[in-house]
Chains A and B, each alone.
Chain A
Amino acid sequence: MSEENNGGNGINPNSMSIIVTKGSLDWAYPPFILSTTAAALGLDVTMFFTFYGLPLLFKKLHLKITSLGNPAMKMPMMGGHMGMPNLLSAIPGVDAGASVMMKNLMKKKGVASIEDLRELAVEADVRLIACQMTLDLFEYTRDDMIDGVELGGAATWVEIAAKSHINLFI
């Protein structure tokens, strides 16, 4: 037991960590919305990017959505809501078109872009950690990512999570 843990559990009550595992446009929102908001509320925030979440740290983002495996996805259209059957996704251009539609809708509704939220996260000193194993596995390098990203592995996250009051897996 280390000195600092004596008489307490060592948990910082104002801290949050998020494991980010998904990198599509829709799945990129929850972790960045929560991290920036938690930082604004005064929490120390760490984001750990692994597997398909890792490309969210790339300098240039090309985020897309897909209707594939997403049966709850409905887009507002002509006053109603249009379902997006899985099969649609097989048609070339449909996912790209739906992604453009989604981005336009977000702009119209005043929803921040992921690029903007990520910049706000960096400004708010949110700690960004890229999974070293994912980099190796998918053959990416440090240079693919924005400045200020740390590299780490499972133990790096566990050490942080053991002291964080809120730990999320997204």
Chain B
Amino acid sequence: MADKVLDAKGLNCPLPILKAKKALKDVPDGGTLEILSTDPGSVADFQAFCRTTGNELLESGEDGGVYTFLIKKTA
């Protein structure tokens, strides 16, 4: 179970990333943030976000058009 869940379904680029960045502020160091998105572009974008910010992308998946990402706050 993630420390915080962000529902970014229905939002388009760059809102899922911007909201995730904000949501991470409420996650303790070492904690996790789960993000739900319907934007197919967010798959590549969350990888780039994590590589650039130094946070860890633990899991990503897709089910019925909803993409899920689990990010560990390490930065």
Interface pair A40/B10, CB less than 8 Å apart? no
For window 1-60 of B, CB contacts with A under 8 Å fall at 10-15, 17-18, 20-21, 39, 48-49, 52-53
11 contacts between A and B (CB under 8 A): A36-B14, A37-B14, A37-B18, A40-B18, A40-B20, A40-B49, A41-B17, A41-B52, A41-B53, A109-B12, A124-B21
Interface pair A40/B15, CB less than 8 Å apart? no
- Complex CA gap A41/B39 in Å reads 18
Tally of contacts, chain A with chain B, CB under 8 A? 36
Give how many A residues have a beta carbon under 8 Å from the other chain's beta carbons: 12
Residue of B nearest to A109 (CB): B12
- Size band of the B side of the interface? 10 to 19
Q: Quick one: CB contact mask for A12-44 with B, threshold 8 Å, 1 for yes? A: 000000000000000000000100110011100
Residue A112 CB within 8 A of the other chain: yes
Residue of A nearest to B8 (CB): A110
Chain B residues with CB under 8 Å of A88's CB are none
Also in contact, A110 and B12, with CB within 8 A (given A40-B21, A120-B18): yes
Shortest distance between the CB of B65 and any CB in chain A (Å): 13
Residue of B nearest to A121 (CB): B18
Chain B residues with CB under 8 Å of A42's CB are 52-53, 75
